[in-house]
Structure 1
Amino acid sequence: MTKRLMSAVALLSVFAVVGGAADAEAACQDAVVLVHGNAGKPADFANTYNELLRRGYAAGDIFRPDWGSKTCAACNDHDGSELVAVKDAINQALARSCTGKIDVIGHSMGVTLSIKSILDLGVAGRVDAFVGIAGAYRGLWSCGTYPYNVVTSTCGYHGLSIGSPFLKGIAGKRMASRIYSIKSNSDQIVCATLVCTVNGVHSSSIDHENASYTYNTGHFGLLTDTAAKQADLIQ
């Protein structure tokens, strides 16, 4: 082999190594945690999951914890066993993520449960983007004002009554570098009393959010019909 040929082969080898490194870097994306709502199931995020796969995410980089009772929605709150599955998923996602950071998308009670889990674990600095869909970050008027008209665990001390100790505990705290909310004024859950706001702010809006997006759809349509937007926000 001549010196000129040997030099060409060596140069091609360098390009192959550099190109491979660039491809690996391009393929590296945050792991994602998708947290369903009260009495829901991981499959509720099917549209989002499939959208992420379409955009090149690996199935192993998408975590969908299954939490809470499916037969007693009123029994679920933001304390104890409900947190275990979500915290485990967050820890697993962080361990898996090639970037060292994760993105979290929650729907309904999954929004506030995710926030509580992130804050309890002390990993807000490792969450790049947080997307809250149809959450009751500021509480539900249908749950009453704490401690009055609180009749279920979901609405109690660790629940979503207006001004509950739980909600006061998460208020104003950052859970990610970038924060977004997706909301509706036709939400059957958040706006069940026909009032969507708490102290003049939509209950689904999150403190420190970078942007909030309003759609003319119901509580569950906000999840199923905005998969592309959700994916856009975490990329």
Structure 2
Amino acid sequence: MKIIFSLLVMLISSVSFNAFANSCKDAVVLVHGNTASPNSWDNTYDLLIDEGYSPSEIFRPDWGSKSCAVCNNHSGSEETPVRQGINDAIAQSCTGKIDIIGHSMGVTLAAQQVSKLAVSSSVDTFVGIAGALRGLWSCGVYPYNVWNSTCGYYGLSVQSPFLDSLYGTPLGDKVYSIKSNIDQIVCSTGVCSVGGVHSSRIWNEDASYTYVLGHFGLQTDTATQQVNLIQ
């Protein structure tokens, strides 16, 4: 009887452990773009819920002005919600790891906070969608023709001090970019590349995916690809 009881306890423990392992997922941080809001991630959020994530495992920091796109940059109040979202996700993740998906300026903000917090070892997967990690030609080349905060020292002008300082920093165990050659923001001047490389591509990335979608469609219409990448 003792042997049978011991075997039964081991079986129950094994089943319980496997059930926990299967239900335990990396927390996910979704960082929206300039003047957008957390609900711009609704397609991705809903799919994550369908895939078994709980709302408490999904973090959508709300940052920046919603009415003044040219007022937002990567210094000060814009940083705080993103930093808090990443810290909260790490603290609450049952795996000890998180996944980050950013769109547009949310890509560079998320990358900045991973670098500042030195938490790349806690990031399993980093996905950048329609980011401008190499700058926007519409913002000019720093310090020339830089006409607003979004394009300034802490902004997205080509060769801005902010982007130069960010380049090459580790962002996670796996890094992916999602991009388009008809992006209304990244390719607004008709040129998508900086130094011969698409501006949405990320240094040392594992793969890059190109869609025939515009800047905002890249966020809303690639939810399946986004979720697949963080599995």
Normalising TM by the smaller chain, what interval?
over 0.9
The answer to whether 1:101 aligns with 2:94 is no
CA distance, structure 2, for counterparts of residue 164 and residue 71 of structure 1:
24
Please list the CA deviations of residues 10-57 of structure 1 after superposition, one character each: whole Å capped at 9, or x if unmatched: 422321111101110111111000000000000000011111111111
Please list the CA deviations of residues 171-207 of structure 1 after superposition, one character each: whole Å capped at 9, or x if unmatched: 1111111100000001000000010000100000000
One-letter amino acid of the structure 2 residue matched with residue 72 of structure 1 = C
Give, in angstroms, the shift of residue 72 of structure 1. Answer: 0.4
Q: Which residue of 2 aligns with 1:141?
A: 137
The answer to whether 1:222 aligns with 2:218 is yes
CA distance, structure 2, for counterparts of residue 9 and residue 99 of structure 1:
31
One-letter amino acid of the structure 2 residue matched with residue 123 of structure 1 = V
Q: Which residue of 2 aligns with 1:130?
A: 126
Give, in angstroms, the shift of residue 8 of structure 1. Answer: 3.4
Please list the CA deviations of residues 67-114 of structure 1 after superposition, one character each: whole Å capped at 9, or x if unmatched: 000010100000000000000000000000111111100000000000
CA distance, structure 1, for counterparts of residue 107 and residue 141 of structure 2:
20
Question: When the two structures are superposed, what TM-score results if normalisation uses the length of structure 1?
Answer: 0.96
Q: 2:59 aligns with which of 58, 63, 68?
A: 63
Matched residues, number? 231
The answer to whether 1:54 aligns with 2:50 is yes
Q: How does 1:14-163 map to 2 (within 5 A)?
A: 14-163=10-159
Q: Which residue of 2 aligns with 1:166?
A: 162
Give, in angstroms, the shift of residue 9 of structure 1. Answer: 4.2
One-letter amino acid of the structure 2 residue matched with residue 190 of structure 1 = V
CA distance, structure 2, for counterparts of residue 8 and residue 102 of structure 1:
41
CA distance, structure 2, for counterparts of residue 121 and residue 9 of structure 1:
49
CA distance, structure 1, for counterparts of residue 9 and residue 112 of structure 2:
50
The answer to whether 1:191 aligns with 2:187 is yes
In our comparison, the structure showing a higher alpha carbon Rg is 1
One-letter amino acid of the structure 2 residue matched with residue 153 of structure 1 = S
SS of 1:81's equivalent? coil
Q: 1:202 aligns with which of 198, 203, 208?
A: 198
Q: Which moved more, 1:171-180 or 1:182-191?
A: 171-180
| Percent of residue pairs identical | 58
| 5+ long unaligned stretches in structure 1 | none
| 5+ long unaligned stretches in structure 2 | none
Structure 1 runs of 4+ with >2 Å offset: 6-14
SS of 1:167's equivalent? helix
Please list the CA deviations of residues 155-175 of structure 1 after superposition, one character each: whole Å capped at 9, or x if unmatched: 000000000000001011111
Q: Which moved more, 1:13-22 or 1:124-133?
A: 13-22
Task: Give RMSD over aligned pairs.
Answer: 0.9
